[in-house]
């Protein structure tokens, strides 16, 4: 799969940390540190612009270390970047922790996973087929 990455950031292009990593780290492309107070959210630029092939998306997800240590997460997780988007990748971060958190330039703020997806043709019907589960949801299977 070819992906064109135009890195307008002074930080390295995203890379997989290990041979079996699913995602690459995204870094904050900031001129100066930004403090994120508890329950505050902000849009953090990455300096990255990508061109995905048709049939693929980029999913922006939280970093587990920031989440467990500081309560920092990606607000619209996973955020979806469509193949026809050509703007800068930016990440909506929120501080769900109890202390202010300083985002410093170059900090690894999120991870990005590239995934294949399908589009379906919608067919409107009057009735759906019956299943054992039926309309039960949100814990209805007893687990």
**Residue ranges per structural domain of the chain:** 4-116
pLDDT digit string (tens) for 81-119?
999 999 999 999 999 999 999 999 999 999 999 999 999
Mean pLDDT of 132-142: 78
Angle among Cα 91, 24, 80 to the nearest 5 degrees reads 45
Q: For the domain 4-116, what is the CATH code?
A: 2.70.40.10
- Residue keyed to tokens 């900090």: 107
Tell whether the model's pLDDT for residue 1 goes beyond 80.
no
Q: Please check whether residue 39 is in contact with residue 93, taking contact to mean a CB–CB distance below 8 angstroms.
A: no
End-to-end CA distance of the chain: 39
What are the angstrom distances between the C-alpha of 3 and each of 37, 51, 122?
A: 35, 6, 29
Spatial CA neighbour of 3 closest among 55, 69, 54, 51: 51
Share of the chain above pLDDT 90, in %: 80
Record the pTM: 0.86
């Amino acid at each position: 799969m070819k992906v064109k990455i135009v890195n307008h950031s002074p930080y390295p292009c995203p890379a997989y940390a290990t041979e079996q990593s699913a995602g690459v780290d995204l870094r904050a492309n900031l001129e100066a540190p930004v403090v994120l107070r508890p329950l505050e959210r902000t849009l953090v630029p990455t300096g990255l612009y990508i061109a995905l092939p048709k049939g693929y998306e980029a999913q922006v997800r939280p970093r587990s270390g920031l989440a467990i240590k500081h309560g920092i997460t990606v607000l619209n997780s996973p955020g979806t970047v469509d193949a026809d988007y050509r703007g800068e990748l930016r990440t909506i971060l929120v501080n769900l922790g109890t202390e202010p958190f300083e985002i410093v330039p170059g900090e690894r703020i999120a991870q990005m996973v590239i995934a294949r997806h399908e589009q379906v043709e919608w067919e409107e019907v009057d009735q759906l087929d019956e299943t054992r589960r039926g309309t039960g949801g949100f814990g209805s299977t007893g687990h």
